[in-house]
Amino acid sequence: MDIDTLRQKDSRTLWHPYSSTINAPPVFPVESANGVYIKLADGRELIDGMASWWCAIHGYNHPALNAAIESQLSRMAHVMFGGLTHAPAIRLAEQLVDVTPAPLQKVFFSDSGSVAVEVALKMAIQYWAARGRPDKQKMLSLRQAYHGDTLGAMAVCDPLTGMHTLFRQVLTSHYFADAPRTRFKGEWQDDDIRSLQILLEQHHAEIAALILEPIVQGAGGMWFYSAEYLRAARALCDKYEVLLIADEIATGFGRSGKLFACEHADISPDIMCVGKALTGGYLTLAATLTSNEVSDSIADEGRGVFMHGPTFMANPLACSVALASMDLLLAYDWQQKVEFIEAELLRGLDACRGMSKVVDVRVLGAIAVVELDKPVDMYSMPAEFVSRGVWLRPFGKLVYVMPPFIIKADELKKLCDAICSVVEETV
């Protein structure tokens, strides 16, 4: 089919994420993808600056990941996880326990990041019920937080400035502390933690857990904050007997310059959520990790079972490709690669700093953000990037980059040049 026919059929039957079905922004039909390149149906090739919403850290069509899928497919594509188990899930769980901060020792698989967050919230509530404290059912979150699009996850996203304000009346009401304002590696200000401290002092008897995105607040604003805030939050949770949930779905597996962003502060959460890059962008899979203290306390309760069970939990294909992705990541100097990307992004986006429409330029690891003084035009800006041979999908006032780790210097330069020119010429 030609491009116009593809687009017409798409608009007739499909509803894309965060998009209207009337006067929707243009979509770009894709024929294939390889390495860091997306090939459009019209033959144009785009450097992917999004890593497919941050998950394709090894790029596309990687032979090792392809082989993992093909090998597992010849044995079984799926089997229920209730009452059954299989080697890919066991090996992946062992690997996750090995690479995440101690004392995370139990792994609960699910099929998306939002569900991993739902699982974490339910774990926290069920843990305190098992400990004889059923009143601890509220969550404490941060302003500018984003934790997913399902109802439970939406309830711990920023209730005012986030994308889910329409649903406020049907969401469970939780507590929200002010977002941390001290920049990553900035001079720490003690009063930055004050809002969180006050809420814990006043409401710890009903708060089951604090949930936050370590170091990088993602879709809520792409803000990089001080590791000292994370250390202080961990100490306050210990003091007030509140569990700490680390949402590492966007930051896990090296994106921030550490394998997990919690490592910037040398802290360990009680519960951790991972997803996105877990399978290298091949299949949807997520995991919620917790300590034996949490899992065994739930097991000691009357029924002794955790009340959750996704149909496609621990899908063998997804577990197999996740193992291959982690083997790839750990086999080479990924940290040096991320440091290289950070340096190139800092250099390439420096020209944006002096532009009148630019409020801020932020870079951490393999993440870069150009913050503008007004929201971008989602009808025209993605097309401007496509015309320059790159794929970027801005949101709000932010133009950001999260490329695959295999990207090269000339490809990073093309991404940065495109951002600088589009911001200067079209915003």
Instruction: Express each pLDDT in 185-222 by its tens digit.
Output: 999 999 999 999 999 999 999 999 999 999 999 999 99
Q: What is the pLDDT of residue 92?
A: 98
pLDDT band at 387 (very low <50, low <70, confident <90, very high): very high
Predicted confidence (pLDDT) per residue in 314-331, tens digit: 999 999 999 999 999 999
Predicted confidence (pLDDT) per residue in 116-125, tens digit: 999 999 999 9
Q: What is the pLDDT of residue 304?
A: 75
Identify the weakest region by mean pLDDT among 4-13, 264-273, 303-312, 340-349.
303-312
The whole-angstrom separation of Cα 14 and Cα 29 is 13
Q: What is the pLDDT of residue 278?
A: 98
Has residue 127 got a pLDDT over 80? yes
pLDDT band at 168 (very low <50, low <70, confident <90, very high): confident
Has residue 172 got a pLDDT over 90? yes
CA dihedral 187, 189, 190, 194 (to 10 degrees): -140
Crossing angle between the packed helical segments 409-426 and 334-348, to the nearest 10 degrees: 30
pLDDT band at 23 (very low <50, low <70, confident <90, very high): confident
Average pLDDT, the chain: 96
Percentage of the chain with pLDDT > 90?
Answer: 92
Distances in Å between the alpha carbon of 228 and those of 215, 217, 265, 287, 295?
Answer: 10, 15, 7, 26, 29
Domain with CATH 3.40.640.10 in the chain: 67-331
CATH class of 3-61+333-426: alpha beta
Distances in Å between the alpha carbon of 268 and those of 126, 235, 261, 390?
Answer: 20, 11, 10, 37
pLDDT band at 174 (very low <50, low <70, confident <90, very high): very high
Domain with CATH 3.90.1150.10 in the chain: 3-61+333-426
Average pLDDT over residues 406-412: 98
CATH class of 67-331: alpha beta
pLDDT band at 303 (very low <50, low <70, confident <90, very high): low
**What is the full DSSP assignment across 287-352?**
EEEEEHHHHHHHHHSSS---S---TTTT-HHHHHHHHHHHHHHHHTTHHHHHHHHHHHHHHHTGGG
Has residue 163 got a pLDDT over 80? no
Tokens read off for 69: 């899928």
Q: What is the pLDDT of residue 426?
A: 82
Q: What is the pLDDT of residue 336?
A: 97
Q: What is the pLDDT of residue 301?
A: 62
> What residues are paired with 177 via a beta bridge?
142
Predicted confidence (pLDDT) per residue in 354-363, tens digit: 999 999 999 9
Q: What is the pLDDT of residue 427?
A: 73
Q: CB burial class (10 A; 0-12, 13-18, 19+) of residue 210?
A: buried
> What residues are paired with 273 via a beta bridge?
247, 288
Tokens read off for 119: 């699982």
Average pLDDT over residues 83-106: 97
Identify the weakest region by mean pLDDT among 168-172, 260-264, 405-409.
168-172
Q: What is the pLDDT of residue 211?
A: 98
Q: Which residues are catalytic?
A: 18, 146, 247, 276
The whole-angstrom separation of Cα 67 and Cα 415 is 30
